[in-house]
Amino acid sequence: MENKLQELKSKIEGAESIIIFSHVSPDGDTLGSNLALNIILDKYFNKKADSVFVGKLPNMYSYLPNYEKFIDVAEIDKSKKYDLAIAVDVAAKDRLVFGTEIFDNAVYRVNIDHHKTNIGYGDLNIIDAESACVGAILYKIFKEWKLKVPLDAARCIYTSLMTDTGGFKYENTTPETFMLAAELVKTGVSPTKEYRACYETKPQSMVQFQAYVVSNTVFYNNGKIAFSKITRSDMSKFNAEDDYTEGIVEVLRTSKDVEIAAILKETKEGYTKVSLRSKTKDLTSIATDFGGGGHSFAAGCTIKKPVAIAYDKLLARVQSELE
């Protein structure tokens, strides 16, 4: 690990152009990590890195410091050759979608992640599946480099930690999680403010949309399975943005007997994005069967089928898991 961190440091110092990638359908970890790293590169290495997103940037994380600096990867010239590309929280290279080419083109590629399904697609791979979030990995790296993490970066890392642990309650919540949270709070982060900014600023239509999706839930196998699907027409009925689906699958899992919950969302014609959550079963084999990945109790995939067909296929696979 030490050698890897030395290697990363020397690559940063030697780079004139740096790009930091977040994964498609970005969440709090990939965005918070991206901005935290950018802040540290600027403050301690005097490097102005491009923080990029792929697809749509959700509004719910707009409270993060420097959020307005995020660049749409589609706006970057495909032939541009960066000295250094760093992917944070990107489980598989295809989660960079049309950013993949720019990532591949870079002189040196770094993959910093905590998904156990990550195969190590970078020239340098810093993967710690024991870490609750990538923000926690970065914090360790900054500490190793003896850098004092300023409040704005601490806020970003706090969002990584808060969102990926589901507000300090998922299985990835460990003593280290609370120790890191304590350090961040000591730095000046307010748990109440960050929580409010992240989770209690929903548009009214989002609250109604989420209730609608939850009310469409169908239970199978004596309540062990909960599925709900979202079509594009549901989305347009509520004027729903991409991030309106955030957190719904966790609500399905709150039912007493549920072991596996899934939300299937039609993203474009013939494409279904799946979010899987579990209380008991390791989901990674289900997700990888459909070309996705993730963690034991939170995984996902995109099935290249219309939502009704994807639904039946996934349900059969989930039912076989519970047999």
Contact track, Mn ion, 117-156, x by CB under 5 A: ----------------x-----------------------
- The interface with ligand AMP within residues 70-89 (CB under 6 A) comprises none
- The interface with Mn ion within residues 77-96 (CB under 5 A) comprises 89
DSSP symbols for 150-168: PHHHHHHHHHHHHHHTTTT
Question: In Å, how far are 34, 77, 256 from 276, measured between CA atoms?
Answer: 24, 35, 17
The size of the chain, in residues, is 323
Half-sphere exposure of 178 (CA within 13 A, CB side): 7
Q: Which does 25 bind (CB under 5 to 8 A by kind): Mn ion, ligand AMP, none?
A: ligand AMP
Least distance to ligand AMP, CB of residue 6, Å: 28
Of residues 109, 292, 307, 318, which one binds ligand AMP by CB under 6 A? 292
User: Per rule CB under 6 A, is residue 295 in the interface with ligand AMP?
Assistant: yes
Provide the H-helix boundaries in the chain: 2-14, 28-45, 100-105, 134-144, 151-164, 175-187, 191-199, 204-215, 232-237, 248-253, 284-289, 307-321
User: Per rule CB under 6 A, is residue 225 in the interface with ligand AMP?
Assistant: no
Of residues 26, 32, 65, 300, which one binds ligand AMP by CB under 6 A? 300
Residue 258 has a CB neighbour count (10 Å cut-off) of 20
Of residues 26, 160, 302, 307, which one binds ligand AMP by CB under 6 A? 302
Compute the distance between CA of residue 274 and CA of residue 291 in angstroms, rounded to an integer.
Answer: 11
Of residues 47, 93, 95, 265, which one binds ligand AMP by CB under 6 A? 95
Residue 20: phi and psi, rounded to 5, are -115, 125
Residues that bind ligand AMP (CB under 6 A): 25, 27, 91-92, 95, 115, 275, 292-295, 298-302
Residues that bind Mn ion (CB under 5 A): 27, 29-30, 89, 133, 164
